[in-house]
Amino acid sequence: MSQIPAASKDACYRHPDRESFVLCQRCGNTICGQCQIPAAVGNHCPECAGANSPQAARLTGRGRGLRASGSYRPTVTYALLGTLGIVYVAQLLTSGWVTQQLLYWPPLTAIEPWRMVTAVFVHSTSSFFHILFNGFSLYVLGTLVERLIGPGRFVVLFLLAGFGGSVAVLWLAPSSAVIGASGAVFGLFGALFVIQRSFGGANVQLLIVLALNLVMGFVVPGISWQAHIGGLIVGALTAWAMVRTRSQSQRGGPQAWALGGIAFGLVALTALRILL
C-alpha cells in the first residue's frame, strides 16, 4: 500500500502530484490541465462540469443519464427568496404594520439596532416591481455565488452586505427610512467581482451590469444609492477575506476571524455614528 501525498492548495485536487494555479470557477478547487473543462468563463472541474460534458464523463467514469456528483442546489438562496415572499404577503395582510416593525430608520438605531438587518426582508407594497427586481437579482446572483462559496459563507455574505448597506445609510442619509434587499444584492455583485478576479475570470460584462445598476440609484428617485454603495463595498471586502483564507486549513481559524473582524468593524462604525 502506497501513500498519496496530501494535496496542497497549489496542486490538483484529483492529482496531488501535479502543481497548478488554475481554479474551478464554481467550487474553487485547483485543477490541472487534464481536469480542466473549458467553460464560458474560465474552467470547471469534472464534477462541476456535470454529466453533460463528454470530457467530464470520461474523466469521472460517469455514463449518460447519471446525475453529476458535484451538482448543488442553492437551498439558502431559495430559502431567502421564500422568506422575502412570506414577509411581503405579511406586509400586505397587515396593512403596513409589518413594514413599520422591520424597516430601518437611523434615529431608531440605538434602541432598535436589529432593524439594520431586518430591513433587508421588507419591500415596498406600493410597487410590486421593487420585490420583483430584488428577488430576480437575488435568484440570478445568489444561485451562482452560493455555488462558489457554499451555503454557510453565503448566509454570512448576504447578512453582512445588508448590514453594510444600513451602516452607509446611517452615515450618509441619517434621516431616510429604508427597506429592501438591494444593499445585500449589491454585496453579491461585489463578491462575484472579487471571486471572478481571483480566479482569473473576465469581468467586463459584470462591470457593465453593475455600473448600470449603480447609475439607476442616482437618477431614479426613491432609491437609496447609499445602501447600494455600502452593500457593494462590504460584499467585496467579505469575498476578499474568504478568497484570501480559502485553503482548508485556514477556514476554521483565520477566515472566521476575518469575517468576525468585518462584522465588528460595522458595529464599531454604527456605535461611533450614534455617539457623534
Residue by residue, DSSP assigns 133-177 as HHHHHHHHHHHHHHHHH-HHHHHHHHHHHHHHHHHHHHHH-TT--
One-letter amino acid at 237 equals L
Among candidate residues 154, 173, 156, 153, the one with its CA nearest the CA of residue 165: 173
Predicted TM-score (pTM) of this structure = 0.75
Q: Are residues 38 and 145 in the same domain?
A: no
Last residue of a domain, one of 50, 71, 92: 71
- Cite the active site residues: 182, 228
Question: Which value, to the nearest 10 degrees, does the dihedral of the CA atoms of residues 233, 236, 241, 244 take?
Answer: -140
**Residue 179's domain spans which residues?**
75-275
Last residue of a domain, one of 52, 71, 90: 71
Q: Are residues 27 and 84 in the same domain?
A: no
- pLDDT winner (highest mean) among 42-56, 59-73, 227-241: 227-241
Q: Are residues 9 and 61 in the same domain?
A: yes
pLDDT category at 7 given cuts 50, 70, 90 is very low
pLDDT, average across residues 52-70? 40
Q: Maximum distance among all alpha carbons in the chain?
A: 70
Confidence (pLDDT) at 48 = 76
pLDDT, average across residues 50-75? 48
pLDDT in tens, 119-143: 999 999 988 899 999 999 999 999 9
Q: Are residues 96 and 163 in the same domain?
A: yes
And the C-alpha cell for 226?
A: 447609499
Q: CA-CA distance, 190 to 233, in Å (whole number)?
A: 7
Q: Are residues 128 and 226 in the same domain?
A: yes
Q: Is 61 left (phi over 0), alpha (psi -120 to 50) or beta?
A: left
pLDDT category at 56 given cuts 50, 70, 90 is very low
Q: What is the total count of domains within the chain?
A: 2
Backbone angles phi, psi at 37, to 5 degrees: -105, 115
Q: Are residues 64 and 163 in the same domain?
A: no
pLDDT, average across residues 242-262? 81
Across the chain, what does the average pLDDT equal?
82
pLDDT in tens, 166-221: 999 999 999 999 999 999 999 999 999 998 888 766 667 777 877 887 777 777 77
Range of lowest pLDDT (2-11, 47-56, 157-166): 2-11
